[in-house]
Amino acid sequence: MKNFTRLLVFSLIISTFNLSGQNIVFSGNDLPATYFGHEVTFNQTLHVCGRGYKRLILSYKRQVLPYETAAANTQAYTDAENAFANAFITAYCPNISVDTIRLGATITNAVATITDERNISISGNIKFGNNTRPTSRPAVGNARLIVCAANVENYFPEWEGTNGATSNEEYQRQHTKMIKAFRNIDADIYCLAEIQDGTIALQAITHALNSQTAPNRYAYVDDGDYTTDTYSKVGYIYRTDKVTPVLALGHPYNSSSVYYKREYVQAFDELSTNERFVISMNHFKAKTGTDDNTNDIRMANVSKLIDFLTIKLNSNYYQDKDFLILGDMNCGTMEEPITFLTSMGFENQTARFAPNEYSYSFNNGVEYLDHAFATPTMSKQITGVAPYHINADESDAFYFLYGTDQSMYKYSDHDPIIVGLALSSDVAVGDMPAKADAEIYAYAGSIFIENSNNSVLTVYDMLGRTIYNNPHADNVVINVRPGIYIVRVGNTVKKIAVSE
């Protein structure tokens, strides 16, 4: 009897420490030390958010970068940042080729061995869900015209000394992939960012599309830029049987600025209806890394654009108020340049039609870097807007700089934004979004204020002290120390950060 009792106690001790086969759930907290070294089943669906050599970065949901959901310097942003930092575990997967797995793929009821607080090992084969590549552009309603806004990531036919291809073989692979994607998208207007200066990039793309469809079906908007160099710009290619460009190509910046060729505005007439609309294609200043302080430059980009559009509208230059703003704006949905557009009365079409989507993947999270905005009259003629997920989710093994793949996938790091239009004269005209009393931005230790209405101007520090006051200021540059300031110009109030 004593031996039986000892055996029973020993069995109970062994079973207490044999935790293999248990069901657990990861929700952002560290994996329990109790399970280290044991094989468990994750009783949930895990989402692939990143990849590395034989490793997948997994989370309990597809993670969105914090500035997609909250404005900087708010408690909501801090909460989102903390949640994001704790949202991932790393899975060592020796038996799969992680390059074949798209970001956003899922694993349900994964069986894995826990190695520490944030690492697991999956030794068997894995059945993935949501790992099928799209083969046709997303539906955008009953559209008569399709517009595609695409960052083509340094498409430089003359590639030597540029940030693009490093050999002719790489360039040809990039060209092949991109043209396959454009043929698949079958747009009536392609609005392109990061194409090479001069005409060589526009000519190469137009020629390829015409050679694969019909002679002279496509043409490009001539921007008068005929000197090829190592820099990039934006541009337009259009179907000659669907639309025609009208009036002069617009430039929000003067020719002394690097952004002169990165913000172009062009009006088009639809041939079948004679309806007119105006497209602004943009490529705002890129971020520089974790210590980024370039927001003020993007604010200057968007302010110059709004100034230009307002002047053109007030002069009735386009004889139309249907404005569509597109492009790679290099900032998320809740960052200041994007919320500024909303505050000026432009309607966010990606948020309207595809609020839970994205166009870019970075640091295991997703975001919209590429946006679509419209005036209220234009908004009523938009049938749908959606990103086409053929780039952001794909491995660099598909990319022209690294792999040998020649499919349309991963021709760029950005997903193109597809816009459907059904133009109509029945839309009430309405007014252009009201212009603010002033344009306010900071750069290199100074606050710049364009006070076109000569409104009362006051600047405060964060302690409420007045550091500048002028009841009839025009254009003002105020040199200040780095910090946060409140600027009031008439009815406009803005908090602005000034760096060194």
Q: Residue 432 pLDDT more than 80?
A: no
Residue 251 near residue 119, CB atoms below 8 Å: no
Coil, strand or helix: which one is 488? strand
Sign of CA dihedral 303, 309, 310, 315: positive
363-375 residue pLDDT tens: 999 999 999 999 9
Coil, strand or helix: which one is 24? strand
Ordered structural domains, the chain, with CATH: 2-129 (2.40.50), 145-421 (3.60.10.10), 439-498 (2.60.40)
Q: Residue 50 is which amino acid?
A: G
Q: Considering the entire predicted model, what is its pTM?
A: 0.84
Q: Which residue(s) pair with 55 in the sheet?
A: 52, 92
Of 181, 178, 212, 183, nearest in space to 195 by CA:
178
Q: Residue 379 pLDDT more than 90?
A: yes
Q: Residue 11 pLDDT more than 50?
A: no
25-64 residue pLDDT tens: 999 999 999 999 999 999 999 999 999 999 999 999 999 9
Q: Residue 80 pLDDT more than 90?
A: yes
What average pLDDT does this structure show over 210-217?
97
**Any residues with CB less than 8 A from the CB of 310 and at least 6 apart, and which?**
432, 435
What average pLDDT does this structure show over 420-425?
94
237-251 residue pLDDT tens: 999 999 999 999 999
Q: According to the model, what pLDDT value does residue 462 have?
A: 64
